[in-house]
Amino acid sequence: MTMVATTLLSTLLGYAPPSDCKIVTSPPTIGTTFRCTSTFPSLGRRTYSVYLPKGFEKGQRLPVLVFLQTGEPYVNGLFKNLGVYPTLDKLFGDSAVNKFVFASPDQVMPSEPESSRVYYVTGTTGKFAKWHKFVTKEFPSLVWKRVMGNVGEQPERMAIDGISLGGYNAIQYALSNPTVFRAAACMSAAFYGPGVGFANKKLQMQNRYSDAELAAIKARVDAGSLKLRIQTSDAKDPRGKPLDSGPSTREVSARWIAAGLAHDVILDGPATSPPGVYWQGGHKVAYWKTILESRFRWHAIELGSISSP
């Protein structure tokens, strides 16, 4: 970043953001949007996007929403197609809405093969475990300290959300860390598990947690420290594979109901939709775009407000 650009950002924000962050000017936003590249202990150099609401000041202890992208190489283009930043501008234009910071890591680096996105899925060892640590600890910590200019290791309140493959992981990371996130949601989550998940039923969301583990998660949910929402509009992958949402979301919800795990489940389409036929919108940007503002509003409510020290 040039000295002029750094000075401009310092003037706009009241502080100098990390030198490896660049302001995004297209599309124009009321809030401030960054594209950054930083080095993390677990995954090395990663690119990511951060949106700060209008009026944000250094050290303002706003909640953080971590947003996980799909398994496709959309990168920042997905946000443009979805209208993420204009939607946040509109939402925060309502003075009654609690503001939060939006932060989203890219699923792959430009230099990585597309197959690297499978590391987003999760596991217990190797690169799967590294992604877990990156999403739940390292990434929000860097956003909190370096981009937002706060003191302390982590945001006081965090939420997590995601689309498709990112939705699977958003829920999985929240259930595995029920004390870390205040709210967790997903859009058209790949609960059957892409890639390795197809062959390994243990990675399918409805089989991923034992009854004892769900009971422990239930205790946190009952205590009001974690809210869950799962939402979808599609039935089956058109190629015939049970990719995600319709069948698997119903199965996951049924398992959670049996375990007494409170959650919101939204099925935006007729339950009688035939196999291989998408419900309204389908597994596409067109559907996700229609529900985006309501999703962000839900997170704003669940995260609440945190005043500056």
Token pair, residue 91, equals 């939402």
Residue-wise pLDDT tens digits, 294-305: 999 999 999 984
| Whether pLDDT at 280 is above 50 | no
| Residue 184: burial class (beta carbons within 10 Å; 0-12, 13-18, 19+) | buried
Domain annotation for the chain: domains and CATH numbers: 3-303 (3.40.50.1820)
Q: Nearest-5° angle of CA 298, CA 307, CA 67?
A: 40
Q: How many CB atoms lie within 10 A of CB 291?
A: 17
What pLDDT is stored for residue 136 in this prediction?
93
What b/e string do you get for 81-112 counting C-beta neighbours within 10 Å, with b at 16 or more? ebbbbbbbbebbeeeebbbbbbbbbbbbeeee
CB 104 within 8 A of CB 88: no
Place of tokens 């699977």: 168
Give the pLDDT band (50/70/90) at residue 234.
Answer: low
Percentage of the chain surpassing pLDDT 70? 71
| Whether pLDDT at 309 is above 80 | no
> What gap in Å lies between CA 51 and CA 88, rounded to an integer?
9
Query: Average pLDDT, whole number, for the chain?
Result: 78
Residue-wise pLDDT tens digits, 25-81: 777 789 988 889 999 999 888 889 999 999 998 889 999 999 998 765 545 566 778
> Average of pLDDT values for 227-254?
67
In which element (H, E) is residue 139 found? helix 139-142
Residue-wise pLDDT tens digits, 157-189: 999 999 887 888 899 889 888 889 999 999 888
> What gap in Å lies between CA 91 and CA 12, rounded to an integer?
21
Strands (E), the chain: 21-23, 32-40, 44-52, 64-68, 101-105, 158-162, 183-187, 227-232, 264-267
Task: State how beta strands 44-52 and 101-105 pair.
Answer: antiparallel
* Among 109-113, 129-133, 231-235, the range of highest mean pLDDT: 129-133
Q: What is the pTM of this model?
A: 0.86
